[in-house]
Structure 1
């Protein structure tokens, strides 16, 4: 795998292109209207709704990374399978992932959705914690992408896709409870926790576990994923979506929220994963807790959410290229070894604070 196409040249897509270039890939970035810029890789215009144009672009590469909205990814995954090239994306949408899982049956190359932060890196961390125990009774995974200096009652800024956030806040959430896979409501099970002395609340959101419930059913009785926000956020979002009925107007809800709370440059990504179980005859609790902030990558200062997301997927692509991961079929994030991930040139960004 040498040549790779990256679809969608927003902040994450552009950074992924630059990191892939640094990792030795020949990169072509595609967008409906690619911005003119002095970049070390080629960029071209592409309308992903044109099957012939997509097939032509995919015919010139060995792999594709979609950094586009989740609702476009299933068709792109099918085109990648038909072109016999590796496929990667950042989707958090459960039905999209299930569709790609079905496509992966008999695929000649890797089909790897959910390669971002959550789902993605958090699943790699959770699986590592579980593997460190002789038996695991519970695994809890939490991620929060937040402004460092919040203002207003909501305490939030939309540094990530508003479409994706709305989807996570409104779709049912898969958990393991008492050894059974269950669907629970989003923005519930609210809990309090602290990271570096900062008080946060965590609540259920959709998609963060990826395929982990199915993987660990029968092994880990209790498992859940929650999003972290500053205190009071869940109450306001429940009022917005349910009492004001904005759940029935998702597109408009996203526009309202991002207009009210636009992106900030000073953000922080909190990662909190914990697993409880037995080791050497004793009950223990192992934790992975980090606060990632903006840093300079590929010569430019990047927001925390941008570099954590882009670094996760690029590290996985490196591992596939280098033969450290399977070369065909559906790739689960929990199948990615954490130590090997952190040992890659790009995944190593996660190893330093």
Structure 2
């Protein structure tokens, strides 16, 4: 795997492409609008089936940094071309469709390679493996402004389409050994990280395939998004009392207009597991607060570099033979120590101390 197409050159897509170039790949970036970059770029209409097939014809792999709604069609094109496929999606139906494609794929189909789902699943699996018997695993992630303002205390540094999807779609959990579906923006709890109080609540997609993997092995497992206190009540009011759940696209436009992106953000990660080892009950934790850093002479937001570094680390591992080159890749099958050994993974290992 040498030549890789990066679809979508927003903040995350462009950074991922730059990191892939740094890692030794031959990168071609594709976007709906002309883009200038330090690697080859081309304009591409994803609705043009013939044009897409031609664009992928000389590639070994494709990385999608597009909105989740476009990923299934792109994954199908990659499958037909016999390419490796990677994306950042949190959307459960999209992932299940890609899993079905993987049964007949010539390359590796690897969705959910971002932060959550993605890195948190790698960490969660590592913590679970430290116990002889694990009774629970809890994964929490929050991408937030460092200096919140207003009642909402939020800025849309991530795709509004993706955030709305996470806030409104049902969530898979494991509870007392049973696979269940629960409503989003529920199960609210208080969390403290480095003296900062946060609230955590259920959102969709963050567990990736972990419920299926750990059913009958870990009785209790859930994923929650972290926000500053008071956020979830306002979002429930907005989506349910004002019925904006029925107008998702407009809801995203309203929210990002009210709370635009900020440069000074922070990504909180809190993963914990409890269980028995050598006859004793214990708890293992991985807690970090990742902030903007400089990469290739440019300051990158925390959400951009954590997301891009995660997927590039996975692609590095596939190229170098540390991961399978065919079928479907679950994030929980990625060894954390090998992830940290990659160029992308080293940033996770060395940054973010609380």
TM-score range, shorter chain: over 0.9
Aligned equivalents of 1:8, 1:40: Cα separation in 2: 15
Aligned residue in 1 for 2:28: 28
2:308 corresponds in structure 1 to 310
Contact 1:9 1:34 (8 Å CA) reproduced: no
Matched, 1:192 2:190: yes
**2:169 match:** 171
Distance 2:343 2:159 in 1: 27
Q: For each residue in 1:263-315, what CA deviation from the matched residue of structure 2 results, as whole angstroms up to 9, or x when unmatched? A: 00000000000000011110000000000000011221000000000000000
Question: After superposition, what is the alpha-carbon deviation per residue over 1:190-238, rounded to whole angstroms, capped at 9, x for unaligned?
Answer: 0001000000000000000000000000100000000000000000000
Cα-to-partner distance string for 1:95-148 (whole Å, 9 max, x where unaligned): 000110111112111000000000000100000000111110000000000000
Superposed CA offset, 1:239-261 (max 9, x none): 00000000000000000000000
- C-alpha root-mean-square deviation of aligned residues, in Å? 0.6
Give the structure-2-normalised TM-score: 0.98
Match of 2:265 in 1: 267
1:253 aligned to 2:251?
yes
CA distance, structure 2, for counterparts of residue 75 and residue 162 of structure 1: 21
Partner Cα separation in structure 1 for residue 170 and residue 193 of structure 2: 27
- Which residue does the alignment assign to 2:83? 85
Aligned match of 1:125? 123
* Deviation (angstroms), 1:30: 0.3
Match of 1:101 in 2: 99
Where structure 1 has 5 or more consecutive residues not aligned to the other structure, the ranges are none
SS in 1 for 2:343: coil
**Cα separation, 2, equivalents of 1:12 and 1:298:** 14
CA contact under 8 A between 1:170 and 1:206: conserved in structure 2? yes
Alpha-carbon contact 1:271-1:288 (below 8 Å) kept: yes
Instruction: List aligned pairs for 1:67-82, cutoff 5 A.
Output: 67-82=65-80
1:295 aligns with 2:293: yes
Alignment of 1:336 with 2:334, yes or no, is: yes
Give, in angstroms, the shift of residue 27 of structure 1.
0.3
Gap runs ≥5 in structure 2: none
Does residue 9 of structure 2 align to residue 9 of structure 1? yes
Q: Within 5 A, what are the aligned runs for 1:182-221?
A: 182-221=180-219
Alignment of 1:36-75 (within 5 A): 37=36, 39-75=37-73
Post-superposition offset of 1:345: 1.1
- Return the TM-score normalized by structure 1: 0.99
Distance across 2 between alignment mates of 1:274 and 1:267: 23
TM-superposed CA distance for 1:57, in Å, is 1.1
Equivalent residue runs for 1:208-247 within 5 Å: 208-247=206-245
Q: How many residues align?
A: 351
The structural deviation recorded for 1:346 is 1.3
Question: Take 2:319 and 2:46, find their aligned partners in 1: how far apart are those partners?
Answer: 25
Distance between the aligned counterparts of 1:51 and 1:335, measured in 2? Answer: 33
Q: Secondary structure at the match of 2:149?
A: coil
Distance 2:25 2:336 in 1: 22
